[in-house]
Amino acid sequence: MHHEKVLETHHYTDNLFSFRTTRPQSFRFRSGEFAMLGLEVDGKPLLRAYSVASPSWDDTLEFFSIKVPNGPLTSRLQKVKAGDEIILNRKPTGTLVLDALRPGKTLYLVSTGTGIAPFASIVRDPETYERFERVILTHSCRTVAELAYGFELMKTIEEDEVLREIVDGRLTHFTSVTREDHSHVGRITKLIDDGTLFEAVGEERWNSEQDRVMICGSTAMTHDVRGACERHGLVEGSNARPADFVIEKAFVG
Residue 115 Cβ vs ligand A2P, minimum distance, rounded to whole Å: 8
Q: Which stretch binds ligand A2P (CB under 6 A): 48-56, 125-133, 134-142, 153-161?
A: 134-142
User: What is the rounded CA–CA span in Å between residue 51 and residue 95?
Assistant: 11
Q: Sheet harboring 211-217: ordered strands across?
A: 171-177, 134-141, 106-112, 211-217, 245-249
Among 102, 220, 231, 238, binds ligand A2P (CB under 6 A): 220
Q: Checking phi first, is residue 43 left (phi over 0); if not, alpha (psi -120 to 50) or beta?
A: left
Q: Which stretch binds ligand A2P (CB under 6 A): 71-79, 85-93, 139-147, 228-236?
A: 139-147
Q: Sheet harboring 16-22: ordered strands across?
A: 44-51, 34-41, 85-93, 2-13, 16-22, 60-66
Strands 245-249, 211-217: pairing is parallel
The three-class DSSP label of residue 131 is helix
Site string for ligand A2P, 4-43 (x = CB under 6 A): ----------------------------------------
Q: Does 231 bind ligand A2P (CB under 6 A)?
A: no
Among 179, 205, 231, 241, binds ligand A2P (CB under 6 A): 179
Q: How far is CA 12 from CA 114, 212, 239, in A?
A: 12, 30, 33
Amino acid at 2: H
Among 10, 187, 226, 249, binds ligand A2P (CB under 6 A): 187
Residue 251 Cβ vs ligand A2P, minimum distance, rounded to whole Å: 12
Q: Which stretch binds ligand A2P (CB under 6 A): 36-44, 71-79, 101-109, 187-195?
A: 187-195
Among 10, 67, 131, 142, binds ligand A2P (CB under 6 A): 142
Q: Identify any residues that bridge with 29 across adjacent strands, giving them in sequence order.
A: none
Q: Which stretch binds ligand A2P (CB under 6 A): 3-11, 35-43, 124-132, 212-220?
A: 212-220
The answer to whether the CB of 29 falls within 8 A of the CB of 11 is: no
Q: Does 218 bind ligand A2P (CB under 6 A)?
A: yes
Which residues contact ligand A2P (rule: CB under 6 A)?
112-113, 140-142, 178-179, 187-189, 217-218, 220-221, 224
